[in-house]
Amino acid sequence: MAHSTTSILQQNNRFLFSFKSKSKASNRHFSSHSLHLNKPLFPLSSSLSSFPSSPSPSSCFVTRVSKAPLEYAPPAPEFNFDREISRLKNLRSKLSVAKTVEDKLAVLGRDARVKRFFEGLSRSGFATVLASLSVDSYGLFLVKCLVAAGQEHVLGLESEMSEFESTWSDIKSALYALVEMIEKLDNGRERSGSNTGFGLKSGEVGDFEKLLKTLGEIERFYDCIGGIIGYQITVLELLAQATCERETTNWSHHINKLMECQFTEIHAPRGIDLSQDTEYASQAAIWGIEGLPDLGEIYPLGGSADRLGLVDPDTGEGLPAAMLPYCGRTLLERLIRDLQAREFLYFKMYGKQCITPVAIMTSSAKKNHERVTSLCERLGWFGRGRSSFQFFEQPLVPSISAEDGQWVVAKPFTPVCKPGGHGVIWKLAYDKGIFKWFYDHGRKGVTVRQVSNVVAATDVTLLALAGIGLRHGKKLGFASCERRLGATEGINVLIEKKTLDGRWAYGVSCIEYTEFDKFGITNGSLSPKSLQEKFSANTNILYVDLASAELVGSSKNENSLPGMVLNTKKPVVYEDAFGNRHSVPGGRLECTMQNIADNFFNTSSSRCYNRVEEKMDTFIVYNERRRVTSSAKRKRKLAEKSLHQTPDGSLLDILRNIHDLLSKCDIRLPVIKGNDEYVDSGPPFLILLHPALGPLWEVSRQKFHGGSISMGSELQIEVAEFLWRDVQLDGSLIIEAENVMGSIRIDENGEPILKYGQRCGRCKLQNVKVLNKGIDWGSGNNIYWKHDVQRFEAFKVILHGNAEFEATDVILQGNQVYEVPNGYKLKITPGKSGLSVQLDPIEQSMMDSGSWFWNYKIKGKHIQLELVEL
């Protein structure tokens, strides 16, 4: 199998991995940072010439590992991994050639464990019970697979046959209850909350139904590795591998068995730095805008997001990350707003409507699928139409004990299940017809981002990534940045390896953070700091070519499940039938979507020393960290000093980005210091700008110029057609448009669709001072990342429909709210005794376009805006 592994040999406290660096190389060549062994296969030259050497061709050195625990609980002495794996592999082989369910049942019936299990029941008088089972043959096949995999305890029965015989009198009624339950399932009889007649309640009947459903999903989805049996084989192999790596003394032999290679080396991958090569970044972003009609979006939302600790305040039920209320709206709404901002930019540049198809992977964890679809329905599908969305639900997989691979069970018929990682996305997309759906919409590639990353669409990052991928026909692209020391995130690497047939293979991939410890980087010249600083962060922001991903997802082997790992670093936490909380060492089989890259290596007959990235199907781009990744993925603990990966910390990064944007527009505003300055207080200001003001900063900067924003001020702009000239803000200013980017119209299919550019709200502020008391920064009820704050005063404008607001050469003071009705323009100018407030109807000929608008033009590699007055 192709799971990730690595090893490190330590002799006399000397680690065979070594690390050296030299002056930073040009981004047209290899980075000078690499991890490898200190005796090279061949002397290196050119940009690799300073790398230490590696060992003889007979050795294979692996640079990737599975997610094994730091503290591993060894299996019970009587449990033999090799024997059990061998038995299950033999069984899987026989099942693979069985054509029908009946043939498969016959194979399972001959398995020693299954045979012993059911014979034990028969000797106890269970023959009549077994004969009366009326569950269909496929259901019986699933139950027998469960038993064959050594998981009969899930049924609430002991696994040893002697115990069945000795305790038959105690479980006899339960077995008969199980029979009646299955008969009722077949006969479709109505159930009530009462007992079934043998002590089994309807709730337990439901548990058994769910068990069969779960087993069926595992069997079908993991068919590429052998279904339920293959799942268990993979789990046991990873557990056995972890044990072997701790006990082996012959590392070369051990690694050669795991990897088919002579030599492997990893380097820090080179790519364009968008923050430095701004001309190329602008050009790449325009490619991305041009290519929008060829692009789709995929959002992997199926994770359980346990670290976020999000709870429904009314029911107390856990909520998925997509439902987190962040800056006034859910995280899912923010994803769609970012997408619509790019579509609005496309409309302004080319005058055409473009609605991007969005595929969302959900799961049943925390009612994820139900809640996400309900949110979309409640918000009218964001004005995009139901047909522009496609949902596909990932299966839940059983959690296993780190001791012996036994499934963790909360109560009879109820294994503890969690989503199996976002790497299932490619096979699931193929199984559920997602690729075909994208093709039907005329799409060639997709961008992928995670819901918790609130800055992924900042400025050029996402557009440039997609633009490069489309323009150069790449199969996979990563958006990356500097890695923060100690962050729970992987690293991007350039893998170079020599295969057993003598060819050299190259590709950008990633190593998960849970694998770092397996490198043994704890002392010596190669410190954890060196590794974490010299290699960039994997952010799971991807560009993916659809045809290439479909080939991987449709493969009938383990390649369709990239990066299979067993993460046992965190305990399995669950509640039993009595509400008691348990925590046991264990994990679940997971896949990582970014490791689809391992299927896209390019090979060469000779080793490549220069410009290897230009020849690869994979690529990487870089930007400043806060313009690439800042996540709201964990709940800040009481009195905790670190804001990293919390909603509080990500808001500060959003505000830092806004500071970078506006300060280049000659607007004076306070500097945001390090996170530790705001642990016990709010940020120095609160500014939220609608992404359609850009989303490219080059566009946004032409809408803002001059003025100042004082300490403690609040600015919220929810309008795309906007002009700020020499505005001084000392307090709270809120501009809200009902139609930010356009208006909702009913299309030919009867669906309400957002028509970009039609009947937008508009706002102009020129030479204006806004003075009021603003936010009550001393209030203990403020939750800044939710944008839930207490205010003393605010100047607020609400634009209904295509309403317009203009203020020129005035001072706006105190607590005021102006609501401008649809079809009208409100103008505030100096009057003879104070302010002149004038409300006039918009001319009929200007109802759609407005009395003024921004005209977008492409000038070379840049976008130029022109203010057009009608």
Q: Please report how many Cα atoms fall inside a 13 Å half-sphere around the Cα of residue 85, on the Cβ side.
A: 14
Average pLDDT over residues 218-240: 95
Residue 369 has pLDDT above 90, yes or no: yes
In this prediction, residue 202 carries a pLDDT of 62
- pLDDT above 90: percentage of residues in the chain: 65
Out of 15-29, 70-84, 126-140, 573-587, least confident range: 15-29
Q: For residues 344 and 349, give the distance between their C-alpha atoms in angstroms, rounded to a whole number.
A: 9
What is the residue-averaged pLDDT of the chain?
83
Backbone angles phi, psi at 770, to 5 degrees: -115, 120
Residue 340 has pLDDT above 80, yes or no: yes
Condensed to tens digits (0 to 9), the pLDDT of residues 241-254 reads 776 655 544 444 44
Q: Give helix 331-350 / helix 278-290 axis angle, nearest 10°.
A: 90
Average pLDDT over residues 817-837: 96
In this prediction, residue 610 carries a pLDDT of 85
In this prediction, residue 514 carries a pLDDT of 72
Higher pLDDT, 181 or 332: 332
Amino acid at 732: S
Q: Do β-strands 732-737 and 834-841 pair in parallel, antiparallel, or remain unpaired?
A: unpaired
Maximum pairwise Cα distance, the chain: 104
Q: Do β-strands 721-730 and 704-709 pair in parallel, antiparallel, or remain unpaired?
A: parallel
Condensed to tens digits (0 to 9), the pLDDT of residues 758-811 reads 999 999 999 999 999 999 999 999 999 999 999 999 999 999 999 999 999 999
Residue 609 has pLDDT above 90, yes or no: no
Confidence band (pLDDT; 50, 70, 90) for 425? very high
The tokens for 806 are 């203009």
* Ramachandran category for residue 794: left, alpha or beta (phi over 0 → left; psi -120 to 50 → alpha): beta
Q: Please report how many Cα atoms fall inside a 13 Å half-sphere around the Cα of residue 379, on the Cβ side.
A: 17
Burial bucket for residue 44 (CB in 10 Å: 0-12, 13-18, 19+)? buried
Whether 591 contacts 563, CB under 8 Å = yes
Q: For residues 266 and 530, give the distance between their C-alpha atoms in angstroms, rounded to a whole number.
A: 14
Residue 146 has pLDDT above 90, yes or no: yes
User: What 8-state DSSP symbol labels residue 337?
Assistant: H
Residue 860 has pLDDT above 90, yes or no: yes
Condensed to tens digits (0 to 9), the pLDDT of residues 162-201 reads 343 434 444 445 555 555 555 455 454 444 444 443 344 5
In this prediction, residue 78 carries a pLDDT of 62
Condensed to tens digits (0 to 9), the pLDDT of residues 676-733 reads 999 888 999 999 999 999 999 999 999 999 999 999 999 999 999 999 999 999 999 9
The tokens for 584 are 């046991």
Contacts with 482 (C-beta within 8 Å, 6 or more apart), sequence order: 533, 536, 537, 624, 625
In this prediction, residue 567 carries a pLDDT of 80
Average pLDDT over residues 62-69: 33
The tokens for 99 are 């054509």
The tokens for 852 are 């003024």
Whether 297 contacts 462, CB under 8 Å = no
Rg (CA), the chain: 30
How many angstroms separate the Cα of 762 from the Cα of each of 308, 727, 736? 38, 17, 10
In this prediction, residue 756 carries a pLDDT of 97
Amino acid at 153: H
| DSSP H or E stretch at residue 578 | none
Q: For residues 235 and 222, give the distance between their C-alpha atoms in angstroms, rounded to a whole number.
A: 13
Nearest to 393 by CA among 220, 522, 531: 220
Residue 869 has pLDDT above 70, yes or no: yes
Nearest to 360 by CA among 381, 320, 389, 322: 389
Q: Report the chain's terminal Cα–Cα distance, integer Å.
A: 67
Question: What is the sign, positive or negative, of the torsion defined by CA atoms of 593, 598, 602, 607?
Answer: positive
Task: Count other Cβ atoms within 10 Å, centred on residue 436.
Answer: 13
Condensed to tens digits (0 to 9), the pLDDT of residues 97-108 reads 999 999 999 999
In this prediction, residue 209 carries a pLDDT of 83
Average pLDDT over residues 645-655: 96
In this prediction, residue 174 carries a pLDDT of 55
Q: For residues 80 and 105, give the distance between their C-alpha atoms in angstroms, rounded to a whole number.
A: 26
Q: For residues 281 and 465, give the distance between their C-alpha atoms in angstroms, rounded to a whole number.
A: 9
In this prediction, residue 711 carries a pLDDT of 98
Q: For residues 109 and 94, give the distance between their C-alpha atoms in angstroms, rounded to a whole number.
A: 12
Amino acid at 460: V
Residue 849 has pLDDT above 80, yes or no: yes
Nearest to 149 by CA among 85, 67, 55: 85
Nearest to 823 by CA among 703, 722, 738: 738
Average pLDDT over residues 597-625: 94
Q: For residues 68 and 241, give the distance between their C-alpha atoms in angstroms, rounded to a whole number.
A: 9
In this prediction, residue 208 carries a pLDDT of 83
In this prediction, residue 558 carries a pLDDT of 94
Q: Give helix 461-471 / helix 278-290 axis angle, nearest 10°.
A: 70
Backbone angles phi, psi at 231, to 5 degrees: -60, -45
The tokens for 50 are 């300073």
Q: Do β-strands 295-300 and 445-448 pair in parallel, antiparallel, or remain unpaired?
A: parallel
In this prediction, residue 122 carries a pLDDT of 55
Whether 561 contacts 591, CB under 8 Å = yes
In this prediction, residue 184 carries a pLDDT of 52
Residue 61 has pLDDT above 60, yes or no: no
Condensed to tens digits (0 to 9), the pLDDT of residues 278-293 reads 999 999 999 999 999 9
Q: For residues 635 and 633, give the distance between their C-alpha atoms in angstroms, rounded to a whole number.
A: 7
Whether 603 contacts 495, CB under 8 Å = no
Average pLDDT over residues 584-609: 93
Higher pLDDT, 397 or 201: 397
Contacts with 533 (C-beta within 8 Å, 6 or more apart), sequence order: 482, 483, 485
Residue 594 has pLDDT above 50, yes or no: yes
Confidence band (pLDDT; 50, 70, 90) for 666? very high
Q: What are the DSSP calls for 536-554, one per residue?
A: PEEEEEEEEEHHHHHHHHT
Nearest to 562 by CA among 472, 476, 498, 451: 476
Average pLDDT over residues 482-487: 80
Q: Which residue has the tokens 């293979």?
A: 505
Q: For residues 538 and 517, give the distance between their C-alpha atoms in angstroms, rounded to a whole number.
A: 17
Q: For residues 361 and 338, give the distance between their C-alpha atoms in angstroms, rounded to a whole number.
A: 18
In this prediction, residue 531 carries a pLDDT of 52
- Cα angle at 451 between 448 and 456, to 5 degrees? 65
Q: What are the DSSP calls for 569-588, one per residue?
A: SS-EEEE-TTS-EEEESEE-
